[in-house]
Structure 1
Amino acid sequence: MYPLLPVQKPFIVPGGRFDVYFYWDTYWIIKGLLVSKMYETTKGIIENFSSLVVTLGFIPNSGNIQLTRRSQPPLFPHMIWEYTKATSTFDKKWMESMEMEMSFWEKNRTIEVEGQTLFAYRTLSNCPRPENFRGDYQIGMNSSDPSSVWRSISSACESGWDFSSRWMQSNNTADLSSIHTDQIVPVDLNVIIAKNYIILASYSDHFGNFDKAAVYRRKFDQLSDAIQKIFWDDKKGAWFDYDIPTKKKNLNFYPSNVYPLMLPGFEQFSAKVEGYIKSSGALNYAGGIPSSLPANSVQQWDFPNVWAPNQHFVIQSFLASNCSFLQQEAKKQAASFIETVYNGIYNPVGVVGGGVWEKYDARSTGGAPGAGGEYIVQEGFGWTNGAVLDLIWTFRQDQHQRQEKSEDIENVTLNRSQQSALVYAAGGFCAIVAITVLAKGLISRKKQNRRGDDLESSALLLGDDDDDQEEL
């Protein structure tokens, strides 16, 4: 048993071996909680993270103390903004916590590239990870620079993409000794931070601090310019990670290549992104967008695996475009992923039983779990539940507003009974996980919320009453 960082409020864990709170997983967990109108649970989770920032100066990888030397993609402001949009609630102390979190990244994770200031995953670790000490030690000692390898392994874990061909120097992706994560400037991290600046500007406006809002808007403008200058390839029509030693872009396909579409002003590039995504081959897979192409890697954040965070962000990117093809493709991708997850629960293939998985095989909608990585595929799973609930809600609303479905979407969208089953399964899992955490003594019974509210509130998805309803 590992020591934990204590927090005051209940939380939801991803599931499986991940039996404590994790940073970036929680963004999609919160998306699902908000769809389920579990506002108090969401507020408590945000307050937990806010207290961690005040105590540590940043939000760590997870509540496991041995993982506190690194962070994860800084989605804390995104979590707060989602809660604010759902409840119209602004909390001044959260503004202070967001600023502390961003200050950590500005002081510790910036890098200069061709005169532009950008962000990269660059942990301070120079030793094997505690959770995989022996394996990391052997990998490092087989390299010419063990400390650099160990730092890059830790940095890859901070990225959330542990591990991927994105971080490798060698074509032999099975050999982690070629990893150099801290020498890669990633598109997605910079998009996340740029969006954080927009959120901080909006919060500053709300509290009447217009000078501070102007500062954050300038930071957004500067980072947006850097994203365009360093990552954009006009011939290809997408944004690509930048390799510092080679001074070249990594032109392989990764879902993050289209994430800048989520930023204001970047919709002007939609037509070129349409051409890129069509030619990339990424749309050729029935179960979702694969994590990389070409298909020559053995790492879990590569082909053929599709992960809920990537799928959700790609869909959000397409929806933010001004291109009708990409917007329609967003609906198709949402429907495909929902079907994949549904079949994984109720129509499992092969020898694996039904479940909600952390990753899936993109080559079909059969719901087969993904493979690869340092551990067997995990069942649960927090971000899959949250992403699917949010997608069901998003496109249900769209269908109500339009009062009709496009013919293409009708062919792949789940029927109402299937959506119902999927929502209840996700809600049920949330209840089971919460009860399990309580049983372990991680949360005080005195602070336990009434159980079953997640199942009841998830059922709101199936009705026509969209009025807000607080948790019981």
Structure 2
Amino acid sequence: MRSRNCLIGLLLPMLWMGAATAADPLPPDQTLQPLFQQVQGAHLFPDQKTFADAVPRRAPSVLLEAWRREQSQPGFSLETFVADTFILPGEAPTYVPPEGQTLRAHIEGLWPVLTRQTSEVDPQGSLLPLPKPYVVPGGRFREVYYWDSYFTLLGLASSNQWQQVRDMVDNFAYQIDTHGHIPNGNRSYYLSRSQPPFFSLMVDLLATHEGDDAYRRYLPQLRAEHAFWMQGADGLAPGTAQARAVKLADGSLLNRYWDARAVPRTESWTDDLATAAQAPGRAPSQVYRDLRAGAESGWDFSSRWLADAGALASIHTTEIIPVDLNSLLFHLEKTVARASGAAGDSAARRDFNRQAEARQRAINALLWDEQQGWYVDRDIRSGSTRPGLTAAALFPLWLDVATRRQSRRTADGVEAHLLRQGGLLTTTVTTGQQWDAPNGWAPLQWVAVDGLQRQGQDRLARQLGTRFLHTVQAVYDRQQKLVEKYVVDGSAEGGGGGEYPLQDGFGWSNGVTLALLDRLCAPKRRCDSAADVAEAE
């Protein structure tokens, strides 16, 4: 175990450099300060994201001047002022499917309902333009999200909507070209962070339809994505970090989640203020950055990031090296190598293959718990692994990081501890956070099923995938909708926990459900429901 002193440089807040361009718009908590803080603090809206997504009817400077002048007048109403000076986002329309529609038909009917076109946006608002149409998750999520979209693309591919797949990959390439990275979502308040790096997997998916042309086309953006995640890595001394890059005491170069800003999240402002107030002895700025880094992870929030599983204020995401993130970056490096080869750049192909091989060795040595027999995250501060089993342990199987022996042992652990009647648990602990038990999430079901099959664990893969499909089908049969997350402990209902109510829609649940129907169906058959899959067994 490394000494605490050698990690001082690692744990100090670092300046963020160059992930956004000088032309990037500022988020509303900056352009509207201090009105923004007053509105969020007054809790005018049940969901703080509502005001973050509101569009000022006048330039922020003009609007702020009016607010300062009017708030001192007798009878001033903040609620009335906001209603008069902002265009508030409307509620998502309720989609009622035709009676008797199959699960597959319902999802395919939802694609146009969830598709948006915002090549032009109001520059006063937080929404960022994208040149081509895209599919949103649904509900409160009125914009495209980075890692969600890969799983949505699986469903679009299943529906043979390859033009939409290409359009969305083009949009992500545009974001890299415009901002230097893919933000969490296309909102100005998401620009300071990304999400799990799935762009290389999107290119992989498109290449199944377009061949090597896809790799050559997006090679510049793949390299830029890698540069974003590795920013600051050059010249790092062992036991230090810069932004998302971490060099461990043994010289291994791995990554963590990070955010450029250390203030409350724009879309959860007062929640984050309250969380930081419950963390005596910690600088509020560090709590805010760890909350933001947790949001970048996509697992917002989970006991994975907490020192005390029962206390969100103990979050320390930036002090953890996640196994799923590093497996995704291994895939990115292998994809850059493949794309470089397709483009005729042998030197770059060799260089990125070397980087991938070094990362694979580090993952298999430092993020593997030999005693437990599964992959884990690593705590930077203590220098030790975090022994709890989570669904993230399946990413090394899915992305071909694991050896066959490690794959078998991980599969045994998953079957013993995470397999439930309704699918795959996210973690084994119940905390009230949405990325913990008893919830199961569609993207993690796909990672598990596809990953287990890739490693020859077909029996467990089919069992897990079939169980999750039955959960989705049971909720659909009762409520005629798909939802963001599910309870998989046998109750077959929508999941709970977290910072907001359960959302309907839902992009990645739709995509994964179609992909599982295809994957688990008998050859040369079409499965439209979970019952069809069961009959095909």
- Settle same-fold status: TM greater than 0.5: yes
Alpha-carbon distance between aligned partners in 2 of 1:154 and 1:361, rounded to the nearest angstrom: 26
CA distance in structure 2 between the partners assigned to 1:30 and 1:420 by the alignment: 24
* 1:33-72 pair list within 5 angstroms: 33-72=156-195
In structure 2, the residue matched to 1:246 is 382
Deviation readout 1:288-345 (Å, 9 max, x if unpaired): 111111x3311000000000111111112211214xxx32110111111111111111
Greater fraction helix:
1
Question: Which digits, 9 at most, give the CA deviation of each residue in 1:75-119, with x for residues without a partner?
Answer: 011101101112325243411011111100011411122321111
Q: For residues 255-275 of structure 1, give each alpha carbon's deviation from its aligned partner in whole angstroms, at most 9, with x where no partner exists.
A: 112321224362422332243
Contact in 2 for aligned 1:29/1:385 (Cα 8 Å): yes
Instruction: Please tell me whether residue 287 in structure 1 is matched to residue 398 in structure 2.
Output: no
What is the identity, as a one-letter code, of the residue corresponding to 2:462? Answer: K
How does the TM-score come out when normalised to structure 2? Answer: 0.71
Contact conserved, 1:267 with 1:320, CA < 8 A, in 2? no
Is the contact made by 1:71 and 1:158 (CA closer than 8 Å) also made in structure 2? yes
Could you tell me which residue of structure 2 aligns to residue 187 of structure 1?
Answer: 323
Normalising by structure 1, what TM-score? 0.80
**8 Å contact kept, 1:83–1:89:** no
Aligned: 1:164 with 2:302: yes
Distance 1:7 1:267, change over 3 A: same
Give the 3 Å change call, closer, same or farther, for CA 184–319 of structure 1 in structure 2: same
CA gap of 1:131–1:226, structure 2 versus 1, over 3 A, is: same
1:48-447 to 2 correspondences below 5 Å: 48-88=171-211, 90-91=213-214, 92-107=216-231, 108-115=243-250, 116-143=252-279, 144=281, 145-172=283-310, 175-264=311-400, 266-269=402-405, 270-279=407-416, 281-283=417-419, 285-293=420-428, 295-322=429-456, 326-346=457-477, 348=478, 353-364=479-490, 367-396=492-521, 399-400=522-523, 416=527, 418=529
Corresponding residue for 2:118?
Answer: none
SS class of match (1:24)? helix
Q: Tell me what 2:83 maps to.
A: none
Q: C-alpha separation between the residues in 1 aligned to 2:369 and 2:531? A: 43
Aligned partner letter, 1:167? W
- Alpha-carbon distance in structure 2 between the residues aligned to 1:278 and 1:308: 18
- Once the two structures are overlaid, the 10-residue window that deviates more, 53-62 or 92-101, is 92-101
Instruction: Give secondary structure in 2 for the equivalent of 1:121.
Output: coil
> Shift of residue 417 of structure 1?
5.4
The percentage of counterpart residues that share the same residue type is 30
Question: In the TM superposition, what is the alpha-carbon distance from 1:62 to its structure 2 partner?
Answer: 0.2
Name the SS for the 2:185 alignment partner: coil
Q: Which runs of 5+ in 1 are unaligned?
A: 404-414, 423-461, 463-472
Q: CA deviation at 1:230?
A: 0.7
Question: How far, CA to CA, are the matches of 2:326 and 2:497 in structure 1?
Answer: 27
**Contact 1:9–1:48 (Cα < 8 Å) also in 2:** yes
Q: How many residues align?
A: 395
RMSD: 2.0
Question: In the alignment, is residue 8 of structure 1 matched against residue 8 of structure 2?
Answer: no
1:216 to partner: Cα distance: 1.1
Q: CA deviation at 1:124?
A: 2.1
The CA deviation at 1:39 is: 1.0
Change (3 A) 1:3 1:262: same
Radius of gyration: which is bigger?
Answer: 2
1:132-191 Cα deviation digits (max 9, x unpaired): 11121122233221111000000000000000000001132xx32110000011000001
Distance (Å, rounded) in 2 between the aligned partners of 1:265 and 1:12 = 31
Cα displacement (A) at 1:68: 1.4
Structure 2 contact 518–527 (Cα < 8 Å) conserved: no
Q: Which amino acid aligns with 2:412?
A: G
The residue identity in structure 2 corresponding to 1:296 is T
Provide the secondary structure at the position in 2 that maps to 1:400.
coil
Quick one: which amino acid aligns to residue 287 of structure 1?
G
CA distance in 2, matches of 1:371, 1:88: 41
CA contact (8 A) 2:257 2:293 kept: yes
Q: 2-side partners of 1:252 and 1:38: how far apart? A: 39
**Offset at residue 196 of structure 1 (A):** 1.1
Residue 109 to residue 88, structure 1, CA distance change in 2 (3 Å): same
What per-residue deviation string (whole Å, max 9, x for no partner) do you get for residues 23-51 of structure 1? 11000011111111111111111111111
Structure 2, unpaired ranges of 5+:
1-53, 55-124, 232-242
Which amino acid counterpart does residue 126 of structure 2 have in structure 1?
P
Q: Give the partner amino acid of 1:70.
A: R
Q: Which of structures 1 and 2 has the larger relative contact order (alpha carbons within 8 angstroms, sep 6+)?
A: 1
3-state SS, counterpart of residue 494 of structure 2: coil
Change in 2 beyond 3 A, CA 1:420/1:43: farther
Which of 12-21 and 204-213 deviates more? 204-213
Instruction: Quote the Cα distance in structure 1 between the aligned partners of 2:531 and 2:516.
Output: 13
